[in-house]
Structure 1
């Protein structure tokens, strides 16, 4: 049986060791395959974060539009905060903008399903496709009304 390496036994210790090896230029001793895997994983995590934040924003915009009698300061604050968080995420990771269309599609499917569950209206009450453009979603002056 093969003894598990440090990567499998103690991930934190492995990260410290690999960072030291890279900083000292000892590339031949570094665990290149696992380092590459972890870097790719970090990129996927940023993309998942984009979809998650978009889903929260879209959920609240849908509820704002379709439940006007429930509008309040907490919804307004949640929408504003999520817009800020998305702007920060995109500023920190400008290449994510190339993924935005796919991310909006995925996020909207989640938001629509959750809005249906939270409002009790059913998914058919909400548009099949995202009714908002990205510029609208990110615009602090955009507050959708029931059409």
Structure 2
């Protein structure tokens, strides 16, 4: 099997690998690259969780620390991220075990983003996420 196709034409390679799998021609599959791609798909799902948590935390921080600027746009972003995160975790239940690590990373990014977007010193925002998981995901929770 020509594994150079993986680099030269990923779309063609992926379709070829799928056809080989469906045909049961396991011996012809590019096992190493296929395994890497499957692992990368899992990493991508984890990155999506972190990205959505980052957006949620960023807007919760702005909501709390800039009450004079609260807007429907911020409210809708918070609501949407809560819904999207819930859906993502429902579609990928094993990601729930990664939540503590994901929250820690996402909050770190959100804190930096909040300082950049608000113009407030980074030290304004707590170093550790100030909300429990339940609060962050609660539709009725709006930090004051």
- Do the structures match in fold with TM over 0.5? yes
Looking at structure 2, the residues matched to 42 and 16 of structure 1 have their Cα atoms a distance apart, in angstroms, of 16
Is residue 59 of structure 2 the alignment partner of residue 60 of structure 1? Answer: yes
The answer for the alignment partner of 1:112 in structure 2 is 111
Looking at structure 2, the residues matched to 5 and 124 of structure 1 have their Cα atoms a distance apart, in angstroms, of 50
Aligned length in residues = 143
For residue 16 of structure 1, report the CA deviation from its aligned partner. 0.6
Q: Which stretches in structure 1 are left out of the alignment for 5+ residues?
A: none
TM-score by length of 1: 0.95
Q: Which runs of 4+ in 1 moved over 6 A?
A: none
Alignment root-mean-square deviation, CA: 1.1
The answer for the alignment partner of 1:74 in structure 2 is 73
The answer for the alignment partner of 1:51 in structure 2 is 50
Looking at structure 2, the residues matched to 72 and 54 of structure 1 have their Cα atoms a distance apart, in angstroms, of 20
For residue 67 of structure 1, report the CA deviation from its aligned partner. 0.5
SS of aligned partner of 1:140: coil
Looking at structure 1, the residues matched to 60 and 107 of structure 2 have their Cα atoms a distance apart, in angstroms, of 11
Looking at structure 2, the residues matched to 14 and 38 of structure 1 have their Cα atoms a distance apart, in angstroms, of 11
The answer for the alignment partner of 1:137 in structure 2 is 136
